[in-house]
């Protein structure tokens, strides 16, 4: 199974600030964690990070016919982007949404997700483990 992992704006800054919310590991550690989780699940993965909404839309469109599943942490675009939700809907690739922090326990503006209605499932508040859960959900149907 070929998985595309998409990380949105500022996730490349992980580990530099706000360790109480996002932990103290950096983005390279997250990528390593994701690669190991995909390996263990018997999947291949490409990891993509962008700070630009249109670039993320382009990447989702380019995934059509090329990937079997998408794991996406849209970061701040979760709460604003109809365009990313529409792109996921258009390609109809099974998608799981991940958030490192529990957005429902944070500021009210983080409570709404445009992506959740087009995702099979959302994991939040599990730190890096949310990505592993998402991978295992797509590869093995685990909850
Ligand atoms: O909890 C998550 O994974 C988020 O998607 C992370 C986003 C945030 O906008 C979402 O509401 C929840 C933020 C990404 C990283 O932001 C940083 C901020 C300071 C230092 C390092 C990263």
Residue 98 has what pLDDT?
99
pLDDT digits (tens, 9 = 90+) for 81-115: 999 999 999 999 999 999 999 999 999 999 999 99
Per-run averaged pLDDT (10 residues), the chain, 143 residues:
99 95 97 98 98 99 98 99 99 98 98 98 98 98 97
The angle subtended at Cα 99 by Cα 90 and Cα 97, nearest 5°, is 25
> What is the distance of C-alpha 121 from the center of its chain?
11
Is 99 close to ligand 1, i.e. is its CB under 6 Å away? yes
Residue 132 has what pLDDT?
98
Residue 135 has what pLDDT?
99
Is 116 close to ligand 1, i.e. is its CB under 6 Å away? no
Q: What is the mean pLDDT of the chain?
A: 98
> How far apart (Å, rounded) are the C-alpha atoms in residues 40 and 80?
34
> What is the 44 CA–ligand 1 centroid distance (Å)?
25
């Amino acid at each position: 199974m070929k998985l595309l992992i998409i990380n949105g704006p500022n996730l490349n800054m992980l580990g530099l600030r706000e360790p109480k919310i996002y932990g103290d590991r950096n983005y390279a550690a997250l990528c390593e964690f994701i690669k190991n989780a995909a390996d263990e699940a018997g999947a291949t993965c490409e990891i993509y990070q962008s700070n630009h909404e249109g670039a993320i839309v382009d990447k989702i469109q380019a995934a059509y016919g090329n990937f079997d599943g998408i794991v996406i942490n849209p970061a701040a675009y979760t709460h604003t982007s109809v365009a990313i939700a529409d792109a996921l809907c258009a390609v109809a690739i099974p998608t799981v949404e991940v958030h490192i922090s529990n957005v429902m326990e944070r500021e009210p503006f983080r409570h709404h997700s445009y992506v959740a209605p087009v995702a099979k499932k959302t994991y939040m508040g599990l730190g890096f483990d949310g990505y592993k859960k998402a991978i295992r959900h797509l590869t093995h149907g685990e909850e």
